[in-house]
Amino acid sequence: MFFRKSPPRRPNRVARLLGVIFQSDGSSRIGGWFIRPVETLDRRLAGADRQAPLDYPDLAMHVGLHVVMADGSEMVAEQLVGTFRDDFSDGVHWTPIERFRERDRGGWDATVPATAFRGVDEATVLSAVDRLNAIDGAPFLGEDCTGFVERVFDRRLFADSPLLQRIGIGACIGDPALPLLRPNVSLDQRTADLVRSHVAGQLPDALAGPGSPNIRFLGRWLAIVIGIGVVATVVFTRRPRGPTRALQ
């Protein structure tokens, strides 16, 4: 997704972490055509495909960390994509909450307390704040939005690839629609509906550790390599050959 950019450097010290903020861009064609269909398949393979009412809001397709800075301002620390710097050097941005919400575009955002995730307690949250105040950014080609959040917490907060998990291979998938919430977690009704907490709490625990290979990135690179191979094959097979010598 290509977002309106925000300051890439931390403008102040992080004082408090409010939680993981989920976002669904209501006007994104990429989200509607590609991201959400894949998320729906992920959830189905994970056994988390309970039929939702037709008026249920769309699935989340981006996450960040909702924080309060030392000056009292609210911001979102997030991994973005779009520029050369984001993709190949450092994609971490610090976005004012008002600008972040401008990207909802008819969709929604919701902040889930970090302690609603499995294995996260208050001490873990304090450690995450310390990491945010010292963290270096990573390129989007090596770390997506969920990967950034998991690196800050130094633990998996989103599910493995359900398909690969079935055959005993643990791999990240970078899917904001598969948060590993605690079973029977108590959230306000709006937030619970938006993040589908009734099924997120029943997803299987992740097997792969933080920083493990992201199967979607591997798939993207494989698709690029295959695409280059196809183009090269077409170009070379259609290239006109030089005149052949007549048989004597």
The predicted structure's pLDDT at residue 90: 76
User: Under DSSP, is residue 93 helix (H, G, I), strand (E, B) or coil?
Assistant: strand
**C-alpha torsion 177→133→101→123, nearest 10:** 50
The predicted structure's pLDDT at residue 141: 78
pLDDT tens for 170-221 read 556 667 888 999 998 999 999 998 998 888 888 888 876 666 555 444 444 4
- pTM, full prediction: 0.77
The predicted structure's pLDDT at residue 80: 87
The predicted structure's pLDDT at residue 115: 98
Contacts of 173 (CB under 8 A, 6+ apart): 42, 158, 159, 160, 161, 214, 215, 216
The predicted structure's pLDDT at residue 6: 64
Cβ distance 65 to 7 under 8 Å?
no
The predicted structure's pLDDT at residue 61: 86
- Looking up tokens 């629609």 gives 177
The predicted structure's pLDDT at residue 223: 42
Cβ distance 197 to 184 under 8 Å?
no
pLDDT along the chain (248 residues), means of 10: 60 96 80 63 63 66 96 95 74 93 93 97 98 87 88 92 62 77 93 89 77 50 48 60 48
The predicted structure's pLDDT at residue 173: 62
Backbone angles phi, psi at 58, to 5 degrees: -65, 160
- Looking up tokens 């079973």 gives 183
The predicted structure's pLDDT at residue 1: 45
- Helix pair angle (145-153, 122-132), 10° resolution: 110
